[in-house]
Amino acid sequence: MIDVFTEAAFNTYYTRGYIDPGIDLPPALVEEMRQHYGGQPDTRNDYPQYYKKNEHQAWLEGRVVGLISTLMPRYSERMVEKLYGESYNRAVHGEQVFIQRLVTHMLEQGFGRLFRTRYLVASYDIYLGNDHLHRSFTDIHSDIPNFHHFYETESDITIYVPLVDVNAANGGRLAILPEARSKLKVPGNVLLKILEQHFLARPHCLDANGYIDPDRIGQADMDSFIKGRPYQDLMQNYKTSTALARTYYGDEFVMADWAKGRPVIFTNKNFHAAESWRNENMHREIYMLRLLPVYDCRIRLKDKLHGRLFNHHLIDTREGVVHRFDEAVDFSRIPAEDKLELHARPVARATRPAATAAA
């Protein structure tokens, strides 16, 4: 993250867990967002579709749940639908209709000045709506990667827009464990490294540029990756770190009032939990946009997320503009000097001083 943000922004992120860039959205845009999502079917919940082919999520929750999902997929599917159905009234993913206007407004108000890195992919958006009877995601967790997104990094940034006030009276605030308080954060970029390690050695999984193409990865290749030691070790790391965060750092989380229509920046790769919503007269409504820093890894972005185009907006923080493409952003066309380094450049190894008689 230190390469992603400017020094001042990084310090704020690191010590407070989030950044308030001091930008308010035009009230008319906020109302349009609420109306757009309010017009979606009452019970539209897009979460369960992420669960399929991500059995490791069940495994993370425990051996028994993992076993049920493997042995009784239909039953586990219903369990998952129930779990998410109890969390949100509506969870709408990948509408992508507000990305350009939201980001353009923020860039006009100086959003780009937070960043040291030049490019960020505006990947996909999520709307979450729940009343006081739905619990939302109140357990301490960090959002583990999944193969539906494929490319995820430890420095993914979320523009988090409360569409209603979240505060002590309403509830619904986000509790975050700042890195400075615990250093507990799963090193997500290990995922990029082990994806490269596994798939670059399989030519049929590569595109014409020699990048790993998630759409060319067959089930057998994916299964061998998932069952492999590096990935299993990473999942174990999530499990261990989550248990430590829940057991020893529960009282170190920060929680602030956030105002309707005022975006804040956080990362879903830090530990976080939603506060219960208490206001019986209105719903909690949150809009999120996930931004992906661009690393110099050889992974091609997917361009369809459950049938919808995604990963097709590229933010240029230096020029202060957002580009929209008809397909996913092509990493191979971004110059190396504008990418973050996944692999450290080789450095001269420190040489050991020659032994002396005195030593």
- Give least dist CB 213 to Fe ion, A: 28
DSSP 228: S
Are 46 and 98 in contact, with CB atoms under 8 Å apart? Answer: no
- Give least dist CB 160 to Fe ion, A: 11
Q: Any residues with CB less than 8 A from the CB of 341 and at least 6 apart, and which?
A: 3, 295, 296
| Nearest residue (CB) to Fe ion, 117 versus 267 | 267
Instruction: Kindly indicate which of the ranges 18-26, 61-69, 82-90, 142-150 contains the residues binding Fe ion, using the contact rule CB under 5 A.
Output: 142-150
Residues within window 72-111 making contact with Fe ion, judged by CB under 5 A: none
Instruction: Kindly indicate which of the ranges 87-95, 143-151, 285-293, 295-303 contains the residues binding Fe ion, using the contact rule CB under 5 A.
Output: 143-151
Angstrom distance (rounded) from CA 140 to CA 183: 15
Tally Cβ neighbours within 10 Å of residue 19. Answer: 19
How many positions of this chain bind Fe ion (CB under 5 A)?
Answer: 1
| Nearest residue (CB) to Fe ion, 143 versus 275 | 143
Residue 215: both structure tokens together? 């759409």
Q: Is residue 275 near Fe ion by the rule CB under 5 A?
A: no
- Give least dist CB 102 to Fe ion, A: 20
Q: Is residue 143 near Fe ion by the rule CB under 5 A?
A: yes
| Nearest residue (CB) to Fe ion, 56 versus 198 | 56
Q: Any residues with CB less than 8 A from the CB of 87 and at least 6 apart, and which?
A: 47, 130, 134, 135, 136, 137
The helix/strand/coil state of 295 is: strand
- Give least dist CB 131 to Fe ion, A: 19
Instruction: Kindly indicate which of the ranges 45-53, 135-143, 148-156, 335-343 contains the residues binding Fe ion, using the contact rule CB under 5 A.
Output: 135-143
Nearest to 120 by CA among 131, 140, 106, 134: 106
Binding residues for Fe ion, per CB under 5 A?
Answer: 143
